[in-house]
Structure 1
């Protein structure tokens, strides 16, 4: 117990209380005064597997929890700070945390949609580039471009370079909500982007993508899509609160709502497929 207290900077009493609580939750196992990681902690919190969620805990600690402390204000008049306004250090925390919690859906994505007929992917608002990286690893013939805000571009370039894919994945600065998108792509990905915007903003975004799309192009929308009442899946429904404390217009949307927007903006919905957990994929083609 003394060693645990020293490593965590807690008093011996506080370390014992915290450790015993984590034993009760199943995160730790205890034998006498010795504590060790339980199965869940070893899998997700020890940094020894691909499912390392420690970056997401840092996101919770530094960004999400402080934002939730302002829930009443956010619901009444909007968040005091939007996630787009983070400083450079917190942006790195946010990018790493979001990538970690979405690692499962990103890995499932190229298994769910067949990229064999496609050659060029535009990953709109592609974050760290993790979804494009997953595609490029499975489909060696696909080239991708990650379009991101300037604050995220360097982070994405580092991730792409670390994956050894800089020759096939380009990262460019741009605002998906302003100006025309670059032409020459036959598949467009909007992964966890729709939930940042209002219905009006999303219709404008989908129209902007359609203007850049050629015949037979595909549009892929990955997000926390819900049922018509926004109450299922459970975790997807609860994400509405997370978006509300971070983004003024953030919300969750139903598959039916998105189908309507697609129809209004020149797309035809052709498939809705599960990814991992509460995330799913809507596939549309240029009408």
Structure 2
């Protein structure tokens, strides 16, 4: 049965296509074919996969436009090449991260009934591969947006940035490249900082950045900074966790300092932007108390923590909204 909107089951079936691509990424088929077009038999031997099953996956990827098949030899298309780890703009880290959160999404129905996911697997506690994929995924989705956001801001009044949960330094790099006089502190878990160091070295910026290990939920924050950044952090926290974090930031920022929040910021009806409404479900199944927050909720918590002059300075359809708050009144 169809109607003016097309087959109503099309959206429901989308998970099938997603699962094929996720499994192909887990088997690293795209990287293998990027390095050497191969037959299904060769790939089955390399990946130690069942020949018949693997052939079905490869043929399906051909229909998706990720591969081409010529005389039983499979090769990548330009579309498929983006999933290879060798591609300079590879999206593979994000795909591998999605294979992790797939497991948590499986329990959405039970999560809705209970209010929390009893089978939730945290990325941070799921091993080094999951953590590396997550940090890489954040760079994939952030590298272009970070430059755009940095270009939209006047960073000249600030001397030192505190990038809280700064991952591999994507936003720190964009801010430092935009403002040559700015220095920075990246604060993240000890197992994450080597990834930041590697990326900073590649951009010749390590001499302007101090790497500090810690857990912002329980450890003190570094002092001496006049600009703090929470980039894609508040959605993973409950209201109470965010309030506690805002208070910690307020207490360590220099007089007149500024906190900048990048995240989904929702309209009062919580249906706009639509991507934020869907991401709230992602947080429902993947975190203990995470959510997407309206500007009114965010502003109230910031003011309760002591911040002044709270403003929604950028709106956007994706996770590209910005809220700015100052330690003291700011004209």
TM-score norm. by structure 2 comes to 0.75
Find the partner of 1:45 among 83, 91, 106: 83
Residues 103, 282 of structure 1: alpha-carbon distance in 2 compared, 3 angstrom cutoff: same
**Matched residue, 2:283:** 243
- Partner Cα separation in structure 1 for residue 266 and residue 67 of structure 2: 34
Report deviation, 1:212: 1.2
**Matched residue, 1:255:** 295
- Partner Cα separation in structure 2 for residue 29 and residue 255 of structure 1: 47
Find the partner of 2:217 among 168, 177, 195: 177
- Partner Cα separation in structure 2 for residue 101 and residue 208 of structure 1: 28
Larger-gyration structure (1/2): 2
Report deviation, 1:213: 1.8
Task: Count how many residue pairs are aligned between Structure 1 and Structure 2.
Answer: 285
Report deviation, 1:208: 1.2
Find the partner of 1:120 among 153, 160, 175: 160
Stretches of structure 2 that go unaligned for 5 or more consecutive residues are 1-36
1:56 matched to 2:94: yes
- Partner Cα separation in structure 1 for residue 64 and residue 269 of structure 2: 32
Question: Is the contact between residue 162 and residue 228 of structure 2 (CA under 8 Å) also seen in structure 1?
Answer: yes
Question: Is the contact between residue 112 and residue 273 of structure 1 (CA under 8 Å) also seen in structure 2?
Answer: no
Report deviation, 1:25: 4.2
Moved more, 226-235 or 203-212: 226-235
- Partner Cα separation in structure 2 for residue 237 and residue 197 of structure 1: 16
Report deviation, 1:53: 0.7
Question: Is the contact between residue 121 and residue 189 of structure 1 (CA under 8 Å) also seen in structure 2?
Answer: yes
**Matched residue, 1:189:** 229
Report deviation, 1:14: 4.9
Question: Is the contact between residue 310 and residue 323 of structure 2 (CA under 8 Å) also seen in structure 1?
Answer: yes
Question: Is the contact between residue 83 and residue 247 of structure 1 (CA under 8 Å) also seen in structure 2?
Answer: no
SS of 2:293 mapped into structure 1? coil
Structure number with greater CO (CA < 8 Å, separation at least 6) is 1
Question: Is the contact between residue 236 and residue 279 of structure 1 (CA under 8 Å) also seen in structure 2?
Answer: no
SS of 1:128 mapped into structure 2? coil
User: What are the superposed Cα offsets for residues 156-203 of structure 1, whole Å, 9 maximum, x if unpaired?
Assistant: 223222332211111111122224422211100000110111111111
TM-score norm. by structure 1 comes to 0.85
Give the RMSD, CA atoms, in angstroms: 2.8
